[in-house]
């Protein structure tokens, strides 16, 4: 069945409240276990259940149960420990059904794989800000959306220092001004 037909069928079924409740519960109780296993087995890790258990202080047998979609006893504390072991973020939030439908329609084994913090290129770029290039609010928002606040703060401090000290004969490297 193509994606358009799947979407139409799913939307039709979601008109029933009981189906919506079952749909959400099913995505959680089966989706999380499959993702735990996918994260553990993905190319960058290739961990055994014991490896994962050792990294988060959980017995291998418990990891096995957490990867079983029929187990159904997931809790946020355990999920946080798993996220920490994988060095990924855990995001639990309420969403509109349209977002859930789009997520489910695009679900694939590859979509369950998540890079660890150290593997993400997002955090590897060195931020350099030219204060003159950040003149509009739109430009500022583009920079903020790309970088972490700490990176942005450091880069802006550097840019302000460069701008304030350009051609200033009283400025020395320590940041203190000297009398002429």
pLDDT of 167 reads: 55
Angle between helices 49-56 and 17-41 (to 10 degrees): 100
CB atoms within 10 A of CB 22: 12
Domain co-membership, 58 together with 110: yes
pLDDT at 168 over 70: no
The model's pTM is 0.65
What 3-state DSSP class applies to 120?
coil
Domain membership flag for residue 139: yes
2 CB contacts (<8 Å, ≥6 apart)?
Answer: none
Domain membership flag for residue 92: yes
Domain co-membership, 136 together with 108: no
pLDDT at 172 over 50: no
Widest pairwise Cα distance in the chain: 79
The CA–CA distances, whole Å, from 169 to 38, 106, 172 equal 59, 60, 8
Q: Which residue has the tokens 């955090």?
A: 123
114 CB contacts (<8 Å, ≥6 apart)?
Answer: 35, 39, 86, 88
Range of the domain at 65: 3-114
CATH number at residue 40: 1.10.260.40
- For residues 180 and 165, the model is more confident at 165
Domain co-membership, 87 together with 12: yes
The tokens describing 9, both together, are 């069928």
Chain centroid to Cα 96, Å, comes to 19
pLDDT of 137 reads: 65
pLDDT of 148 reads: 54
Comparing C-alpha atoms, which of 112, 106, 124, 89 is closest to residue 43?
112
> Alpha-carbon distance 11 to 23, whole Å?
11
Domain membership flag for residue 13: yes
Domain membership flag for residue 66: yes
Domain co-membership, 30 together with 68: yes
pLDDT in tens, 43-102: 889 999 999 999 999 999 999 999 999 998 899 999 999 999 999 999 999 999 999 999
Domain co-membership, 96 together with 141: no
Domain membership flag for residue 10: yes
Domain co-membership, 23 together with 48: yes
Domain tally, the chain? 2
Domain co-membership, 154 together with 68: no
Domain membership flag for residue 125: no
pLDDT of 52 reads: 98
pLDDT at 133 over 80: no
């Amino acid at each position: 069945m193509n994606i358009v037909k799947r979407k139409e069928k799913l939307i039709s079924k979601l008109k029933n409240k009981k189906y919506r409740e079952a749909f959400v519960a099913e995505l959680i109780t089966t989706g999380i276990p499959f993702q735990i296993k996918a994260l553990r087995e993905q190319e960058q890790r290739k961990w055994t259940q014991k490896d994962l258990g050792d990294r988060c202080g959980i017995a291998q047998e418990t990891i096995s149960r957490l990867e079983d979609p029929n187990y159904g006893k997931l809790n946020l504390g355990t999920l946080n420990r798993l996220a920490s072991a994988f060095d990924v973020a855990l995001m639990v939030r309420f969403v509109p059904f349209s977002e859930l439908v789009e997520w489910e329609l695009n679900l694939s084994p590859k979509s369950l794989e998540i890079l660890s913090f150290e593997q993400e290129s997002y955090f590897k770029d060195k931020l350099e800000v030219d204060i003159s290039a950040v003149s509009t609010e739109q430009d500022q928002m583009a920079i903020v959306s790309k970088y972490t606040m700490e990176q942005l703060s450091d880069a802006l401090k550097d840019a302000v220092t460069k701008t304030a000290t350009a051609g200033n004969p009283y400025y020395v490297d320590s940041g203190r001004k000297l009398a002429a």
